Structure formats: structure tokens, C-alpha cells
Amino acid sequence: MYENLAILAIFAFVYSAVGGALEKTPFSGALVFTACGLAFGPLGLDLLQLNMDADGIRTLAEITLALVLFSDAANANLGVLKRRIRLPGRLLGIGLPLTILLGFGLGVLLFDGLGLLEIALIATMLAPTDAALGKAVVTNSAVPVEIRESLNAESGLNDGICVPVLFVFLVLATGASTEGGTTFLALRLVAEEIGIGLAVGIGLTAAGTRLLALCDGKGWLTEVWRQLPVIALSIGCFALAQSLGGSGFIASFAGGIFFGWVAKEHRHRLLLAAEGTGDTLALITWVVFGAVVVGDSMANFTWQVLVYALLSLTVIRMLPVFLVLSGTGLRTDEKLFMGWFGPRGLASIVFGVIVLGEQLPGAGTITTAVALTIILSIIAHGISANTLARALAVRVKRRKAAASS
């Protein structure tokens, strides 16, 4: 155990020291973390022996996603989103359902051995994009502001939107039934999970922020303890909702949006520790992904899985985005740029772990498809992010210069 802890601690320390420099290179954090897991895990030097079962991996992944969901939702600038709703609204309201639908259709053509609901699960699991993996783009001031803000809003919100969709397909796929039938049960369970999740997330966050405001007004909230409440609140939303039979992810997502709306200009200062903790847990999750999940999942590798993974990163993502952005005034290269930058990451990993725990007949193929898509994504998007962002910025600058001359 201590050897594992030492390796993780040293790796985290080294990366935190050089992370700023690596962000300017094609090597994203997720790629480095996954490579570390592969290198030190059973497939490499076999120094990192995590011995984590499915429940352990699931717990780590769920807590990580709960923190990330809360932080991302709280950081979403609803004022900016409202003023610039045109592009994010199309991406989330039309593009996301089209992406799931196209992923389902192509999955039906490729996966003969999977049921329709299992294919729908794959399509949903790979629909959300990762805000952290797209950081090189959304923080690049050279990229037009509307494109940056739209991609940031999309990646920050689409994982939370996909949660109830995933639960519908999962309940139907597991074949849970009562006298009222599977479909009715699925809809009822999802309605209950969403309702409980929303109630817990908003209720607990409302009570928590009110208490924080009162304590801060009395001078009881010291600088040392100011960062802890948000971490506790995000995990509390998740855990309480789960214990009551609701969706902890919906609770974290709803709680984060409410917290960001209430805290307004103070939210960034209050979220610093939560974001740091989320990044640290994400680091560990990516290392575990490389050390444990990747090797096990590749046992079910087939050419159909490879083709689907490639299509997921290109056609399945890019075609819906290109179509929904038609008529917005964006140039073809800008639409292709937004379509390409839909990296898959933490949400897909967590969804994969959740589905794997349900022991579906096609669980092996599902896990392999998700894992391979994520691996290809962190490589392809990491390598291309800075280069394509600079290229787009140059073209936009030239067009502006030509228009003003």
C-alpha cells in the first residue's frame, strides 16, 4: 500500500511542478496520467499494484465526478450563457440528442452481438465532452470568445444532462420489471431519481449557502476554513441523494448551478479548493484507468470496436455539431473546429464503471468501446489542441484584417 502511495504522491508532486509547462505541449494531463498508470501498472513495470475491485473504482470515480460536476456547474457563468445562448443552446438542445441518435444508429450497424439498449448505453456514455481535456482550447484567448465560451458551456453541462438519459437506458437494459412492466418502472425510477436529486441538490445547497452567509457575516468563517464547505457540500449533495434513492450526480449538478447563482462573483474564490481536490482525484482516476481499466478492457478488442471509437470522435460528434451550427454565421473551419473539440474523459469513465457494475451481457464490449474511445481521444485531442487553436486564430485574424482593409 505504501509503495503505491509513494508512487502516486511523487508523480502528483512532479506533475504539479511542471504542469504549467506541459499544458503548452501536446501532452495533456489525462494522457500523462494514463501513461503513468500503464507504465507503472501490471502491463508495465508492475510497481503500482492497486488491487482495486469494481466497487473501489466506482466509488473513486463517482466522488470525483460529483466534485467535478458541482464545480463545473458552479463555474458556469449563467449571465454570459444567457447572453450567448445561441450556440450552447444549439449544441446542448439539438446537437447532444443528435449525437446520441447517430451513435446509436452506427452502433446498430457495427455491433451485431449487442442489444439495442446496450448500444444506446454506449452512445449515451460517449456523448458528453470533458471540460478539463478541452482546457487548452477554452482558455486560449486567441480562439474567438464565442467559440471558447460555447465549448466551455457545452462541456460543463452536457455530462449532467446525459445522466438521466443514461439511467433510463440502464434500467431498461438491466431488465428490472414489476407488475407494471419494465418501461413504466424505468420511467418511474428515473423520475424519482431526478426529483430526489434536484430536491436534495437545491435544498441542501440553499441551506448550506444561507448558513455560510450568516457565519461569514458574523466573522466566524476564517480564511483557513473558507475552502472546505464547498467540498463538503458537493460530496454531501451526492451522498445524501444516493442514500435517499435519488441521483447523486443530478444533486451535485443542480447544487452546483444553484451555488454559482447564489455566490455570483464570490464563487471562484470559494471554489478554488474544490477544483483543486477534483483535479487531484481526477489525476488518481486517470492513473487507475491506465493501470487497471485499460488492460482489462482490451481483452474484448475487435475491429468493430476500433471503427466505432474512430467514428465516435469524428462523424458521430462532428456531423451533428456541423448541422446545428448551420445558419449561425460561423465559417466552415469554425464549425469543424467546434465539432472536433469534443474530447471524451472523466464522465465517460464514470458512466463506464457504473454500467460495468450492472453485469450486462455485453458489458465487455461496452467497456472496451468506451475505454478505447477515451484513449484515442486523449491522444488525438491532446496532440491537436494547441496546433489547431493557433491555426484557427491566424485564419480569424486574417479575415478580420481583410474585412477592415
The mean pLDDT of the chain is: 85
pLDDT value at residue 390:
84
Residue 268: which residues within 8 A CB-CB, separation 6 or more?
Answer: 75
- Please give the Cα distance from 51 to 292 (Å, whole number): 8
How many separate domains does the chain show?
Answer: 1
Q: What is the pLDDT of residues 238-248, one digit of tens each?
A: 999 999 988 88
Q: What is the pLDDT of residues 266-312, one digit of tens each?
A: 777 778 888 888 888 888 888 888 888 887 777 789 999 999 999 99
pLDDT value at residue 324:
95
- Please give the Cα distance from 187 to 172 (Å, whole number): 9
Which residue carries 482546457 as its cell? 135
Answer positive or negative: Cα dihedral of 185, 186, 188, 189. positive
Q: How many CB atoms lie within 10 A of CB 49?
A: 15
Answer positive or negative: Cα dihedral of 234, 239, 242, 243. negative
- pLDDT band per the 50, 70, 90 thresholds, residue 178: very low
More confident residue, 299 or 82: 299
Q: Is the pLDDT of residue 80 over 70?
A: no
- Record the pTM: 0.86
Q: Which range of residues forms the domain containing residue 288?
A: 2-404
CATH number assigned to the domain comprising residue 385: 1.20.1530.20
- pLDDT band per the 50, 70, 90 thresholds, residue 401: confident
